[in-house]
Each structure stands twice: as C-alpha cells, then as structure tokens.
Amino acid sequence: MEKNKIIKTVVTYLIVTFIAFIVYYLALPPINLQAADFWIFLAFLLLIYLAPVSVTLLKGKSFAKNIGHVKMGAYSLKANKLLMIALIPLVVVIIGGAISSEVFNARAYAAVITVNESVFEEDMPQTDSVTNIALMDTQSARIVGNRTLGSLSDVVSQFEISDYYNQINYQNTPKKVSNLEYVDFFKWLGNRASGVPGFVMVDPVNNTAEYIKLSTSMKYAESGYFGDDLMRKLRFSYPTKIFGTPKFEVDDNLNPVYVVPCYKPRVALFGAMDVNEVVIFDPCTGESNLYAIGEVPTWIDIVYDGDLASEKYNWHGTLSGGWFNSIVGNKGCKQTTDDYGYLALNDDVWYFTGVTSVTSDESNIGFILTNARTGEYKYYSVIGAEEHSAMGAAEGEVQEKGYEASFPALINVSGEATYVMVLKDSNGLVKLYALVNVEQYGIVATGATQQEAMAEYKRLLSENGILDGDQDNSQTYTITVLQIKETVIDGNTVYYYQAEENGQTVYYMISLKDDQSALFIKPGDSITVSRALTQTQGIYNILSWQFLN
C-alpha cells in the first residue's frame, strides 16, 4: 500500500514537471528577478506543485470527518494556506510594480537620459537637393516589397514578407529591409530543411525593391517552430535576459543578422526598462554575441527602437518637476509628438520627432534627434508647426487629389528648418513630394520629383524674402557636352551628360519631366548650367540651362 502511494506521488510530480516544462517551452519567460514574467511563471509553478499536496490534505479531511477524531476544518485550512503560497509571487509583482512606478520615482525616471541642447544650423548640414533622403514610410515599403515578392512564384507560395521593415544604412545609403517568414506550420514543415532563402531590400529614395537570395539560408525565424523558432533559440542561449523585439538588419556584404536588445530596469524592481546589452544573432548559423551598449559594432543601426526613444524623452520632459507637477501643474512639461521619422547622419540612423508643450499640441517648441544605435539625445529649439499641421498643409495643396502625406523628415535648406515628405494615393503609392517650412508652414512646395519640389521651395523662399540673393544655393557654369546617356527612372526619362568644364570631366543629370527642352542638347554643344552646389553620387543636378551665345 505504501509502495503504491510512493509510485503514485512520483508519477504525479513527473506529470506536473512535464506540464511545467511545456509551459516554459511555450511562454519562454526570463529567469530574472527583475522581470514580471518570471514572477508570474513562478506563481504558476508553485500552484501546480502545491496542488497535489493540497488535494492529499483535503482527502485527509474527508477521512478525519468519517472517524470523527479531528476538527472539521483543520485539513482544509492547511490546504488553503499551502495554496496561498502561490500568491506570494503575484504580490511581489503588484508591490514591485507600485514601488517602481513614476508616482514614487518621477525624478529617477527623468534622469534616465541626458539631453544635450544643440544648434540646428551647426548639426544639420544644408541640403541643396533631396535626391538621397528616405521618405518612404513602412506602409508604402510593404506595398513595393509585396509586389516584388509576388513576381517570384516559387517563393511567394511558401513565404511572406514580415510586416516589420527596419531602416538601415547600407553602404552609406538608406534602405528598408524585411526578412521572409514561413506562411504557416505546414510551409515551415515543408521548407525547414532548406530554411528561409532570402529577404527584401527596399530603396526608399527611388521607391523600388529587390529580392536578395542568400547563399546560405536562414535556419532560425520568428515564424519557425520548435528548435527553429528564433525566440526559443535565443531564450535557451540566454535564459536570464529580458529580450526586446528583434530587429532584422544586414551588413555591407548583405549578411543577415538579428539585433536583439536586452532590457534592464533603471528604477527599483521593474521601472524604467531600458536597453543595457545587445545580442547580435546570426540566423543562418545560430551563432551569437552579447555586447554592452558602448561596445556595439558601428555598422549596427537599430538598438533602441523609436517608441522607446520617445518614451524615455517623455519621462525626461514631463517628470523632471515631479509626478504631481506632471499631472496638475505641468510647469515646464514637454513631450514628443505621436510619431517619428528617420534621418541618416554620419552613417548613423537617427529618430526625429517634434517636441510640444503638454498643455498644447498646436505647434512645436523644438524637436529632438535620437541616435538609434547609441541612444544619444539632441534637442533643438526651433519653434514652428508640429508635424501633423505640416502634413495637413501639404495635403491641402493638392486637396482635389485626395493624397495622404507621410510622416515627414527634417532637413536644412539654406538655414531654414524644413519638413520634407511624400504624398501618396489611396493605394499607398508615392505621387508627389512636398516641402513645408517649419516656422511658416504656409510656405508649401510640391513636385512630381524631389528635384522639382526643391526648386519650387527655393523659389517660394526667395519670393517670401527668406532666401536672399547672396544665399542662392546654385551657381552657373559653362560646359561642353561630350557624351549623353539616356535612362528611365520611375517612368521618367533622365539624361546623363559627360561634359568638359575648365579642362575637367564632370557629370550632370536632368529629368525630361522637369525640362523638356533638354531633348535639344547634343554632344558638342556648349551650354551654361545652373546646378546644385553638392553632388549626388558624383553627379550634379541641373536646375536650369541655356545654349551659350
């Protein structure tokens, strides 16, 4: 009898242990005292391990009642007390969350970041053309990417593109990349031996996309199952780390990696979660490396996501004067607007978002740039229209077409802070480009190309007395055309000229859509050209031209 009881107990706890492992295998909580998920999992473990003991005690109560030797509630009381132990981790979560909250730690939250005051004109180089600025948003990137994948029948039937497009700098040019994922369990089952074959890279400047086939397929993916699941592989490699959302990137040789931020609370037990380490994971081999924040390789672009960057600034902007002031007084409180854009500066990706007073969101009192790799913050005191007002102004210029503006980027045009954005049709396709002056958002220029929009914007700046003649951003040169090449970009004919200028060979380009008279230029012609001061990939953009008399 005693032997059967022992066997039954062992079997019971083997079953309980199996259940515990299955739950851990599926939920993948970090084994970390500073993670609320761990305490919830611990409560579950205590509950399922103590439940058999409680059942035994309750059976003892029934037996005691029959023989009448013990008080009726003695065993049930012991059983209830035992089960209440499982509530202790949940109490830790509740109390830990309370003592970690902004209510008791407002200034600690505010001190998580340091924000440096900077000068816009000094940090932001002047832009004479917008031919190399990534203006495509994620929605448009999905449309272009899906169209590209849809042309590959052998791939599209088995895989789909992840909804998440990450902005990166690839060989010093902005790109958006997204990995392929298995469509469902059966597609994973049929393709797991060969793995995920490639990814999609979108050019957000030219609105094009290409499918990149890898020489070595990716074994691990977020849509993988069992041992091929990306997060499961990471969890068993780093059981104590609190993971953020993995970001898919590629290096300059098109080798794929996942950049996985690891979080740690900066306030009390659970408060002010911030990135303190980064795992760089190779999805082809399963190899990974753990880096401290200051040691992350410089070719990595996204460590801090834009939502976290905005949240941390909001802690700083609203809680510096204490929690009560953030609720009632609002003295000196400021916050970011509800979205952000991307800028590429010095081969780093930066988030851009406006800053507004919490008591009014009609206009910005400045804006911030946040380095997506290092977490550095810069604040610029530039008063003007907030982003959505500028978007509305751009949409209003072509209201009869019903186009929708994307969230803008910020550039410096002749010392003027300027929003630049795209206008899309109902299908999400880019139709026009728009520039809006930050301080005077009634100054709006649109164009079918970025060059056309820029030329119109400069004209409006001059017309409104903002751009003086001495600040003209173009110069006139005399050149002799040597060779002419013709190509088509986004349906527009573009002419490229190899020319001689003061004994030097130079290169120019002009879109036929911007100037149809370019049809009459022939090799051997001498012309005067007005051009942008800076080059795009070694080629000057012709703003205007005429034959040499």
- Spatial separation of the C-alpha atoms in residues 300 and 407, rounded to whole Å: 24
Which residues, 6+ apart, have CB-to-CB distance to 383 below 8 Å?
363, 364, 365, 366, 439
SS3 sequence of 418-443: EEEEEEECCCCCEEEEEEEECCCCCC
Which residues, 6+ apart, have CB-to-CB distance to 176 below 8 Å?
134, 136, 138, 141, 165, 166, 167, 168, 201, 202, 204
The pLDDT score that the predictor gives to residue 549 is 64
Q: Are 1 and 235 in contact (CB under 8 A)?
A: no
The pLDDT score that the predictor gives to residue 129 is 62
- Chain-centre distance for alpha carbon 220: 21
- Spatial separation of the C-alpha atoms in residues 530 and 400, rounded to whole Å: 34
Q: Can you list the alpha helix ranges (DSSP code H) found in 400-541? A: 450-463
DSSP label at 221? Answer: B
- Spatial separation of the C-alpha atoms in residues 373 and 379, rounded to whole Å: 17
pTM, 2 dp: 0.80
Provide the pLDDT confidence category of residue 443 given band limits of 50, 70 and 90. very high
pLDDT(58) > 70: no
- pLDDT, tens digit, for every residue of 176-233? 999 999 999 999 999 999 999 999 999 887 778 899 999 999 999 999 999 999 999 9
For range 159-182, the mean pLDDT: 90
For range 398-427, the mean pLDDT: 88
The pLDDT score that the predictor gives to residue 66 is 41
Q: What angle do CA 22, 27, 31 make, to 5 degrees?
A: 100
- pLDDT, tens digit, for every residue of 355-371? 998 876 668 999 999 99
Radius of gyration from C-alpha coordinates of the chain: 30
The pLDDT score that the predictor gives to residue 68 is 42
Q: Are 482 and 439 in contact (CB under 8 A)?
A: no
Long-range contacts, 152-156 (Cβ 8 Å, 24+):
152/211, 155/180, 155/197, 155/198, 155/211
Q: What percent of the chain has pLDDT over 90?
A: 50
Looking only at Cα atoms, what is the longest distance across the chain?
122
The pLDDT score that the predictor gives to residue 9 is 79
pLDDT(471) > 60: no
Q: CB neighbours (10 Å) of residue 245?
A: 14
The pLDDT score that the predictor gives to residue 195 is 95
